Chains A and B, each alone.
Chain A
Amino acid sequence: MDGVMGRLPQPSRRDVLRCGLGACLAGGMVCRLPCAQGQDVAGTGALPGVALPGVVRHPARHWEKHADGEVKCLLCPRACVVGDVERGYCGVRENQGGKYQTLVYGALCSYNVDPIEKKPLFHYLPGTQALSIATAGCNIECKFCQNWQISQFRPEQVASTPVTPEQLAANCAARGWPTLAYTYSEPVVFYEYMYDAAAAARRRGVGSVMISNGYIEEEPIRELCKVLTGVKIDLKAFTERFYVEQCAGELKPVLRALEVLKDVGIWFELVILIIPTLNDSPEEIKAMARWVVERLGPDVPMHFTRFHPTYRVTNLPRTPVPTLERSRDIALGEGVRYVYAGNVPMHPGENTYCHQCRELLIRRVGFRVESSLIRDGKCPKCGTTIPGVWSQEQALSFAPRQRAAGTAQGTS
């Protein structure tokens, strides 16, 4: 079931050891390992370079002081109240003497140069490459996490290489990579690093996309959208029960974050990993798609992707392809204009069709774009504008809309 990336040769141990990230970025040598088709799986093996002797410490944003030296994190809806020398649920933000600090600022534990389709973002500069990075940590715990070896570990438990935001941006610019992608683990927990990198990237004409679970508070994501150019959100399911039992999270704040993205006007797409028996019922898919159309609009692409057993969910089979096809049909039936089937290479559900005339616009094989007929963001056959970001100029011109009335924090 290996996809395009899966056929790439695996580097030898010597290659990996030799391939320090700094040299890698400077010299253009990129370490790639096979990865799951259609999913944004961390692309590096053991990251070369010397492990950090301890952890880096950098002032965190979005927190407040409490009594007795405790702090309250305001970054994500979990709102951890953290005692001295303790960490938040994410494991990468620590209270030291009443000051909250991030331990992963510039501590890169995974990187790769990926097709943007691997995120997956299908309506954002298709066929281009994104320097994709991650640090340790996540603010939820999906029992089916594909990247749990980095997302569910703390910074001192994974080898990391120090890379500054400016270095990331400079290398993208020098190499001609149009996009920085914050991905693999959960970018929300390395918020400060992501923000600074995205700001530095913008100054150099490089865009930034966040690949996230959307479990973030309103103020931080509004702030972040000032520097991002695109977002992909993993909508894990459409029931609170799933979020609580399978992810140790909540659905409602994610839906709220999606509405904020809609409000600020940034380009975003949704991915739903369909897991047999857990979130694959037609009723749930229908309710989800209906909500998307009503609250986000019909132009937000939905990607239904195939589950593979991993981490703590090893007792369920891969998602049957007909289940993906059924989900796709349901969403199309509810009025979502662009619905994809993921992790099924060669499936016609990977392609983009004009929602007006059904003309095949982008033909994909796995992560590779075989052909694209979109010109100036329009269908060449009927002239319909295809929603998305089709040029770097368009990406970098994005500026968030001012907060609309009735969308102040706390409203719903």
Chain B
Amino acid sequence: MSPPPARRRGHRCTGDREKGEYMLSGREHAASGCRTRREFLYQIGAATAGLVAAPRLLAEPGEAPAARPDAPVPGKATRVIIARDETLTKGSVDEHAELLRKLLDAALQRLTDAPDAATAWRSFFKAGDRVALKVNTLGLSTQPAVADAIVAGLCAAGVRPENIIIWDRFDRELAAAGFKLNQSTDGVQCRGTDAERIGSGYAEEVEKSGEIGSCFSRILTGPVDAIISVPVFKDHGLAGVSLGMKNFYGAIHNPNKYHGNNCDPFVADVVAHRYIAPKWRLTICDGTRAQVQGGPGRSPQHAWSFGGLIISNDFVAADAVGADLLEQERHARGLKSLAEDRRPPKHIATAGARGLGQSDLNRIERIEV
């Protein structure tokens, strides 16, 4: 058997003796992003419906379950913070950088019951963490000022700027959204997957997760300890909503293949992958500028001055609350519900049913700050 077209070369993680490939050593294996036993167990656990109600690590046999720093406190409902300030709807978002930082810090404190903002941030991130902020620059985009506010919080927790990367699919879309690209080793990194190398910045191997088979962005397959999803609060013509989970369609090479059936169960399949779910610390949904219809492209007539952020350490709960708020606004405007418009955001319930987080609104505590 001769090799397939060598458009995209690289080693394989599973050795195929017949093809003369090799098995990786443990260190090579880890560096390659192949799944560890713990990661494998996590994914199996995540795919088991109803086993867990919120993100958590599975323990090794014989160990007590390891509580993640962001794991919901037992006995308490999952929290989703809705942080709004009408001032944010006036002028440009960039003018309100200070207000955004304060709002975000207050939200994190409320989420964690921490005595101060730095402590709140440290409950999710530690010095030495390498943190990836997945923004969304397709159509209505994440505001750079929101990303800046997150970076300020991370730095307050001791994360080094050069260990932070703001990323999306394309350099050109990031630049068009107002982000300053930075591929140097100084300061906060900012680049698209396509900047990883000419032609493609996606991993060589196809990763299977549920129904999907995709190559993931090398930004995610590389050394990343923590992920923050920074989507835009917007409607989506097929998935119903494009929030924290749908945002990760921008992490795979073939999102176009997974828009059928309202993107379900594909969104859940993508985020359940070991590159994403185990590392996901926060969703910080940018609602400074929102859109209730016509998404993900810009549709000014359907703009919504939400003026705030939706924040949670439970990525399913954040999306569930976001979708509910969007439905309420659509109702207030006389628009059809997403279900009536034949695009219910089914992926949220699917993710909840798989134990990736809490999708039951009755079990989510909404807190407004």
Interface-forming stretch among B106-114, B252-260, B355-363?
B252-260
In the assembly, what is the distance between CA of A37 and CA of B2, in Å?
A: 8
- Determine whether B297 belongs to the interface, using a CB cutoff of 8 Å to chain A: yes
The residues of A that contact B238 with a CB separation of less than 8 Å are 83
Instruction: Tell whether, in the assembled complex, residue B2 and residue A36 are in contact, meaning their CB atoms are under 8 Å apart.
Output: yes
Contact with B along A133-154 (1 / 0, CB 8 A): 0000000010100111110111
In the assembly, what is the distance between CA of A3 and CA of B1, in Å?
A: 9
The residues of A that contact B139 with a CB separation of less than 8 Å are 84-85
Interface-forming stretch among B4-12, B221-229, B276-284, B304-312?
B4-12
CB proximity of B9 to chain A, nearest CB, Å: 8
CB proximity of A52 to chain B, nearest CB, Å: 9
- Determine whether B161 belongs to the interface, using a CB cutoff of 8 Å to chain A: no
Residues of chain B in range 6-30 having any CB-CB distance to chain A below 8 Å: 6-9
In the assembly, what is the distance between CA of A308 and CA of B2, in Å?
A: 10
- Determine whether A158 belongs to the interface, using a CB cutoff of 8 Å to chain B: yes
- Determine whether A291 belongs to the interface, using a CB cutoff of 8 Å to chain B: no
Instruction: Tell whether, in the assembled complex, residue A6 and residue B237 are in contact, meaning their CB atoms are under 8 Å apart.
Output: no
Residues of chain A in range 156-187 having any CB-CB distance to chain B below 8 Å: 156-159, 184
- The closest CB in chain B to the CB of A6 belongs to B2
In the assembly, what is the distance between CA of A46 and CA of B200, in Å?
A: 11
- Determine whether B64 belongs to the interface, using a CB cutoff of 8 Å to chain A: no
Instruction: Tell whether, in the assembled complex, residue B200 and residue A34 are in contact, meaning their CB atoms are under 8 Å apart.
Output: no
In the assembly, what is the distance between CA of A51 and CA of B259, in Å?
A: 28
In the assembly, what is the distance between CA of A364 and CA of B232, in Å?
A: 60
Contact of B7 among A88, A109, A318 (CB under 8 A): A109
In the assembly, what is the distance between CA of A70 and CA of B202, in Å?
A: 29
Instruction: Tell whether, in the assembled complex, residue A146 and residue B4 are in contact, meaning their CB atoms are under 8 Å apart.
Output: yes
Q: Knowing A84-B297, A89-B259 touch, does A147 contact B5 (C-beta < 8 A)?
A: yes
Q: Knowing A33-B5, A85-B138, A110-B7 touch, does A70 contact B237 (C-beta < 8 A)?
A: yes
CB proximity of B145 to chain A, nearest CB, Å: 22
CB proximity of A408 to chain B, nearest CB, Å: 29
CB proximity of A135 to chain B, nearest CB, Å: 12
Contact with A along B237-263 (1 / 0, CB 8 A): 110000000000000011011011000
In the assembly, what is the distance between CA of A157 and CA of B250, in Å?
A: 13
Instruction: Tell whether, in the assembled complex, residue B254 and residue A41 are in contact, meaning their CB atoms are under 8 Å apart.
Output: no
Instruction: Tell whether, in the assembled complex, residue A46 and residue B256 are in contact, meaning their CB atoms are under 8 Å apart.
Output: no
Instruction: Tell whether, in the assembled complex, residue B5 and residue A41 are in contact, meaning their CB atoms are under 8 Å apart.
Output: yes
- Determine whether B35 belongs to the interface, using a CB cutoff of 8 Å to chain A: no
Contact of A149 among B5, B194, B208 (CB under 8 A): B5
The residues of A that contact B9 with a CB separation of less than 8 Å are 46
The residues of A that contact B256 with a CB separation of less than 8 Å are 87-91, 154
In the assembly, what is the distance between CA of A35 and CA of B3, in Å?
A: 6
- Determine whether B74 belongs to the interface, using a CB cutoff of 8 Å to chain A: no
The residues of B that contact A312 with a CB separation of less than 8 Å are 206, 208, 213
- Number of A-B residue pairs, CB cutoff 8 Å, is 123
In the assembly, what is the distance between CA of A109 and CA of B5, in Å?
A: 11
- Determine whether A248 belongs to the interface, using a CB cutoff of 8 Å to chain B: yes
Contact of B5 among A37, A70, A150 (CB under 8 A): A150
The residues of A that contact B237 with a CB separation of less than 8 Å are 70, 83, 86
- Determine whether B366 belongs to the interface, using a CB cutoff of 8 Å to chain A: no
Q: Knowing A69-B297, A70-B237, A89-B259 touch, does A35 contact B2 (C-beta < 8 A)?
A: yes
- Determine whether B91 belongs to the interface, using a CB cutoff of 8 Å to chain A: no
Instruction: Tell whether, in the assembled complex, residue A85 and residue B296 are in contact, meaning their CB atoms are under 8 Å apart.
Output: yes
Contact of B257 among A51, A248, A311 (CB under 8 A): A248
The residues of A that contact B198 with a CB separation of less than 8 Å are 51, 159
The residues of B that contact A147 with a CB separation of less than 8 Å are 4-5
Q: Knowing A51-B199, A91-B256 touch, does A42 contact B7 (C-beta < 8 A)?
A: yes
In the assembly, what is the distance between CA of A311 and CA of B294, in Å?
A: 36
- The closest CB in chain B to the CB of A98 belongs to B297
CB proximity of B75 to chain A, nearest CB, Å: 43
Instruction: Tell whether, in the assembled complex, residue A46 and residue B6 are in contact, meaning their CB atoms are under 8 Å apart.
Output: yes
Query: Interface centre among B206, B254, B256, B297, by most A CB within 10 Å?
Result: B256
Instruction: Tell whether, in the assembled complex, residue B257 and residue A153 are in contact, meaning their CB atoms are under 8 Å apart.
Output: no
The residues of B that contact A159 with a CB separation of less than 8 Å are 7, 198-199
In the assembly, what is the distance between CA of A86 and CA of B295, in Å?
A: 10
In the assembly, what is the distance between CA of A148 and CA of B296, in Å?
A: 28
The residues of A that contact B3 with a CB separation of less than 8 Å are 33-34
The residues of B that contact A146 with a CB separation of less than 8 Å are 4
In the assembly, what is the distance between CA of A143 and CA of B9, in Å?
A: 19
- The closest CB in chain B to the CB of A152 belongs to B254
In the assembly, what is the distance between CA of A249 and CA of B73, in Å?
A: 46
CB proximity of B228 to chain A, nearest CB, Å: 24
Query: Interface centre among A41, A84, A86, by most B CB within 10 Å?
Result: A86
Contact of A153 among B4, B138, B253, B260 (CB under 8 A): B253
CB proximity of B342 to chain A, nearest CB, Å: 11
The residues of B that contact A405 with a CB separation of less than 8 Å are none
The residues of A that contact B2 with a CB separation of less than 8 Å are 1-3, 5-6, 34-37
- The closest CB in chain A to the CB of B192 belongs to A156
In the assembly, what is the distance between CA of A146 and CA of B257, in Å?
A: 17
Q: Knowing A84-B297, A85-B139 touch, does A36 contact B4 (C-beta < 8 A)?
A: yes
CB proximity of A148 to chain B, nearest CB, Å: 8
The residues of B that contact A42 with a CB separation of less than 8 Å are 4-5, 7
In the assembly, what is the distance between CA of A248 and CA of B198, in Å?
A: 30
- The closest CB in chain B to the CB of A43 belongs to B5
In the assembly, what is the distance between CA of A109 and CA of B200, in Å?
A: 13
In the assembly, what is the distance between CA of A312 and CA of B4, in Å?
A: 14
Contact of A143 among B170, B172, B213, B299 (CB under 8 A): B213
Instruction: Tell whether, in the assembled complex, residue A44 and residue B206 are in contact, meaning their CB atoms are under 8 Å apart.
Output: no
Query: Interface centre among A1, A5, A42, A152, by most B CB within 10 Å?
Result: A152
- Determine whether A310 belongs to the interface, using a CB cutoff of 8 Å to chain B: yes
CB proximity of A92 to chain B, nearest CB, Å: 9
In the assembly, what is the distance between CA of A149 and CA of B2, in Å?
A: 15
- Determine whether A54 belongs to the interface, using a CB cutoff of 8 Å to chain B: yes
Q: Knowing A33-B5, A86-B237 touch, does A311 contact B206 (C-beta < 8 A)?
A: yes
Instruction: Tell whether, in the assembled complex, residue B8 and residue A149 are in contact, meaning their CB atoms are under 8 Å apart.
Output: yes
In the assembly, what is the distance between CA of A312 and CA of B212, in Å?
A: 10
Contact with B along A71-113 (1 / 0, CB 8 A): 0000000000001111111110000000000000000011000
- The closest CB in chain A to the CB of B259 belongs to A89
Residues of chain B in range 310-369 having any CB-CB distance to chain A below 8 Å: none
Query: Interface centre among B1, B198, B208, B238, by most A CB within 10 Å?
Result: B1
Residue positions of A touching B, CB distance < 8 A: 1-3, 5-6, 33-37, 41-47, 51, 54, 68-70, 83-91, 109-110, 141, 143, 146-150, 152-154, 156-159, 184, 248, 308, 310-312, 318
Jot down 17 A-B pairs with beta carbons below 8 A, ordered by A.
Answer: A33-B3, A33-B5, A36-B1, A42-B4, A68-B294, A68-B299, A85-B297, A89-B257, A110-B5, A110-B7, A143-B213, A147-B4, A148-B4, A150-B7, A308-B1, A312-B208, A312-B213
